[in-house]
Structure formats: C-alpha cells, structure tokens
Chains A and B, each alone.
Chain A
C-alpha cells in the first residue's frame, strides 16, 4: 500500500490524494460513530435510537431518551475526543522527540495520571466545590507532575530528545511502581475501584467532561496552527530545523506543554488508555506522510476511529455488558496496524 511518495506524482496531485485519504477516513469515522450509538447493552431498535437522537424528549420514550441522549451519546463523543486527543498527542510527541516509541503512555504521563487517580481513590480525596472532579483533577496533577520531572531532567541537558525519552521511560517505571504500591496497600473494594479506573472506561462520560475535553482539543488545535511547518522541519533533525530558523528548544517546550494538556484532558475522565497515542500516529503516517498539516488531523481521526471501533467492540464482546474500553483498544488497533505494515513497502517509522 504505497499511499504516499510515488515518484510520478506531482506535489499538487499528492496534496489532493492526501486530502482524499483524510476525507475518506472522516467518512469511515462517521460510520463507526453511528454504529457506536446504535449498539449497546439495552439492545434498542434502530428506529428508537434515531428517534431519540432527532426528536424532542417529549416525543420519545423517556427510558430510550435517557439511554441514547444521556448515556450513549456522551460515551460516543468522549470516545471520539479521547481518541483524537491521544492520537494528536502521540503524533506530536513522536515528532518532537524523533522517536517512534514515544507516546504519552510510554513516557509515563498516563502512568502518573493513573497513580494520581489511584492515590485519590485510596485516600478518599475530595475537592471542596466540585467533588465529582476529584479523581480527574488528581489524575491531571499526576500527569503534570510526570511532565515536570521529564522536563526538569531534559532542561538540565539541553532539551535533547534522547534525555527526554530516557527521563520519560524512568518516569514511567517510577509511577508504575507507585501505582502497584497504592494497589498493594488498598482494601479489596478500593482496589476494585482503582483497577477499574486504570482499565480505562467511558461509562462515566458526561456532557460536562465532553465539553472540557473538547475545549482542550480545540484550544490545542488552534495553538498548533502557527507551528505546523516548524514541526515538519523538525523531522529533518534538530540542526537542520534550527538552521531553517526554528527555535527548536522553545518549540519543543511549547509542544510538550500542549501534549500534557491533551493527555490530561483525555485520561482524566476515562482512565488509562495506552495504545492509541502510540499507534494512531503510525497508521496516519503510513497513510498521509509527515507533512504535519495533514498528519496531525489524520492522527486525530485515526485515534478517534480506533477508539470508537474499540467502543463498539467493548459492547459486543460480552452481550448485555460493556467491557472497559482500555482492554480492547489494542485488540482492535493492532490488526489494522499489522495489515498496513504487511502491505506497505516503506522503511521509515
């Protein structure tokens, strides 16, 4: 599947082709989203779901209305936004670090967020005004702490990608150990709650959490627009990017902060989702190349597609129940990635 880089293609044709691929991916995503809303443990009829979506509440069975509008729709929207956020965060991280194994998960952000959440659950931590947000806030604090550690270490050695990766992996191990310690200390019922959070699940999605995650994603997208070509230049190596006029260290710091925001916004409400941030950018890169103007939206769409597909699968695996989505994301995404690798002829990561 040589989707990019054909020798005979002119640049204009290449841009058109990439746009077509992005558009096709968006169509595929829309289909999966529709299926995700239609599917659920309540086994609602197709017509009932559509009615609940398009008709006012007064004209729909109240139970159907609640299931579709208050449970399924927020879950589906959350799956989309979390997938898009993690896909974008992964693509950004792989770009600024020049490393195919970089992702918010592999660099310890997700583990730290999980550790923060686990600690909050263990200690019964509650915020005074917004108690429902206690665990998400604790997760955000954990993620931000990991980012500070990685950044602090990297800052001491000139913000090089090698130091950031090494610091990130060390941070991952440290917070995984802390997570294990918290779990070891927890009573059985608390442990169950911690483990469920760490699995990653969409069931707690609400319109408020959807709005927050959406707001973060849109803000980050706007902040990225002035830097898309600078990020593309970074793929030529730090020295070349610098010689082209990119302030590499400053750009890396800004993008690093945006990655923390995206990751925090995603995992705070749904728990640890490890696979999307690593693999969505790879799939996107194979399809559209490394021009960040296309790669970033494609990574977002791919991440959302894998996440929405995983959401569908999580409802179908065990009829009448919803398996935590974090368990099935890799099961859905890995075969797709393997297919692209097997059919591709590219040597780059």
Chain B
C-alpha cells in the first residue's frame, strides 16, 4: 500500500498556505513532518485527511481518494485536546468505530475499545469523563481512538505536544509498532527534531508551504538546513549510540 499526494495546494482566505506539494509514503512507514510554525504542516495534514478543501490529488494504492471518502481510510488527530466534555474515556474510543455503533454497543466492541486504552495504561480510566483527566491523558485517549479505527493512514498533528517524556516515547513507540504490525502509514507533524529523528523512517521538511527536503533524518537534519528553514544556529551531532541529536544554540 502506498499513499501518494500529488500537487496538493491549499489556499485559505486568498493566502496560499501549501503550494503544489507532492510526497509518497510506503506501507508501514512512520513519516515525520517537520518545519517551523506556519510552514503549513497542520494545513497539509488536514487537506490530506479531507478536512480542508484543496487542489491536487490523494491516491491510496494507486487509486484516487475522493475528499468525502477519505475519513473511512484516514484517521486524523488534531493537535488541540478538544472541548471540555463529560463523555467517558471509553465512549470517546468507541466513537473511533462510529459506523459500527448502533443503539446498543456490542460487548466485543466495548472490550476491543478497552484493549485499545490498555496499550496506553488507561484501561482503569474507561469510566472517567474527559473533563476529569489531564490534557496529556486526553491526548492518549484520542490516539487510542485513532488506532482503534484501524485506518490505512494515520495523520497526527503534534501527537506528543502535551505529553511528559515517558509518554512521548510510549505514543511514538505505539504508533511505530502499529504501523509495523498492520502496514499502516503514519505521518506526524513534530517540533521535537531529536525525538522525531529517532522514529522517522522518512522525514519531510516543510517551509513556507513547500517541501524543502525529504529523505532519511540524517539527510534532512543538517545545520545548514536548520539555519535556512528555522533561522537558528543548531548543533547536529550523533550520540555514542549513533543517535542524531539536534540542539538549538543561543546567539553569542
């Protein structure tokens, strides 16, 4: 399975946000989308998921996906944690399979939703309401919902933004494992470049609505590119374990 985005362009209020962007992601790949604020990362993800009108085409396995059909195969997780609600954690996860839900919820479906929560250690909170858990826990619940949908493509907008160090790893490892196990394609917009580099099969750097670079993290994350795209001096180094570290440097 391959996700191919061809000449995608998005304009909002007459301003061009994403400009004729093309990219390809292979089955099971975890793709990290990086770039400064305002580069168009969230807009690109929303347009691919069909939430924003766009020009260009999105193909899955060489078949074009109409905007209206994308929600059935693409799960998109926004970066905000949503409005305050008294829906329970399990109900939120169940909503991931909206089309399977009727006036009664089959026991097996509720159990599967509980299992989706369990992978993030949240099974005990299934009866709690969204307003009674932390922002980070809410983020995990939404990720559990997205995985519960069993989509072909998973689009995550800053999935680790509200999470502590341990849960950042828990989330990205869960996504990586899910991709490996089910052949799902995951694309995540990220700001933590060091963390993104650890999990990326492919990295795409976006700047002013255009793809500046794409490829393996070590090719994309260079000091020159970071200076050009982010406007900062950064040290790009490899740790003793061979991991790529990006450290922004203060002026002077």
**Residues on A with beta carbons closer than 8 Å to the beta carbon of B77:** 243
Task: Report the minimal beta-carbon distance from A228 to chain B, rounded to whole angstroms.
Answer: 7
**Residues on B with beta carbons closer than 8 Å to the beta carbon of A293:** 103
The answer to whether residues A9 and B127 also contact, given A232-B91, A245-B99 and a CB cut-off of 8 A, is yes
Question: A181-189, A234-242, A308-316: which one contacts chain B?
Answer: A234-242
Q: Is the CB of A245 within 8 A of B98?
A: yes
**Residues on B with beta carbons closer than 8 Å to the beta carbon of A242:** 51, 71
**Residues on A with beta carbons closer than 8 Å to the beta carbon of B110:** 11-12
Q: Report the Cα distance A8→B71, complex, angstroms.
A: 33
Q: Is the CB of A11 within 8 A of B99?
A: no
Report which of A5, A11, A235, A349 forms a contact with B114, defined as CB distance below 8 A.
A11
Q: Is the CB of B127 within 8 A of A14?
A: yes
Interface assignment of B78: CB less than 8 Å from any CB of chain A: yes
Q: Is the CB of A348 within 8 A of B82?
A: no
Report which of B49, B76, B98 forms a contact with A246, defined as CB distance below 8 A.
B98
The answer to whether residues A348 and B86 also contact, given A7-B124, A7-B125, A245-B72 and a CB cut-off of 8 A, is yes
Task: Report the minimal beta-carbon distance from B153 to chain A, rounded to whole angstroms.
Answer: 12
Q: Is the CB of A291 within 8 A of B103?
A: no
Task: Report the minimal beta-carbon distance from B88 to chain A, rounded to whole angstroms.
Answer: 6
**Residues on B with beta carbons closer than 8 Å to the beta carbon of A12:** 107, 110
**Residues on B with beta carbons closer than 8 Å to the beta carbon of A235:** 83, 85, 87
The answer to whether residues A229 and B85 also contact, given A7-B127, A14-B127, A243-B49 and a CB cut-off of 8 A, is no
**Which residue of chain A is the closest to B126 with respect to CB atoms?**
A11
Task: Report the minimal beta-carbon distance from A319 to chain B, rounded to whole angstroms.
Answer: 42
Q: Is the CB of B51 within 8 A of A347?
A: no
Count residues on chain B whose CB falls below 8 Å from chain A CBs. Answer: 40
Task: Report the minimal beta-carbon distance from B24 to chain A, rounded to whole angstroms.
Answer: 23
Q: Is the CB of A346 within 8 A of B71?
A: no
Q: Is the CB of B71 within 8 A of A289?
A: no
Q: Report the Cα distance A289→B87, complex, angstroms.
A: 6
Count residues on chain A whose CB falls below 8 Å from chain B CBs. Answer: 38
Interface assignment of B39: CB less than 8 Å from any CB of chain A: no
Q: Is the CB of B84 within 8 A of A347?
A: yes
Question: B128-136, B173-181, B196-204: which one contacts chain A?
Answer: B128-136
Q: Is the CB of B126 within 8 A of A4?
A: no
Q: Is the CB of B49 within 8 A of A232?
A: no
In chain B, residues 88-107, which have Cβ atoms closer than 8 Å to a Cβ of chain A? 88, 90-92, 95-96, 98-99, 101, 103, 105, 107
Report which of A10, A244, A246, A346 forms a contact with B127, defined as CB distance below 8 A.
A10
Q: Report the Cα distance A229→B91, complex, angstroms.
A: 10
**Residues on A with beta carbons closer than 8 Å to the beta carbon of B147:** none
Interchain Cβ contacts under 8 Å between A and B, 19 examples: A6-B127, A8-B127, A11-B88, A11-B90, A11-B110, A11-B127, A15-B105, A233-B98, A240-B142, A242-B51, A243-B76, A289-B87, A290-B85, A346-B86, A346-B129, A346-B132, A347-B131, A348-B131, A349-B84
Residues of chain A whose beta carbon lies under 8 Å from any beta carbon of chain B: 4-15, 98, 225, 228-230, 232-233, 235-237, 239-240, 242-246, 285, 289-291, 293, 346-349
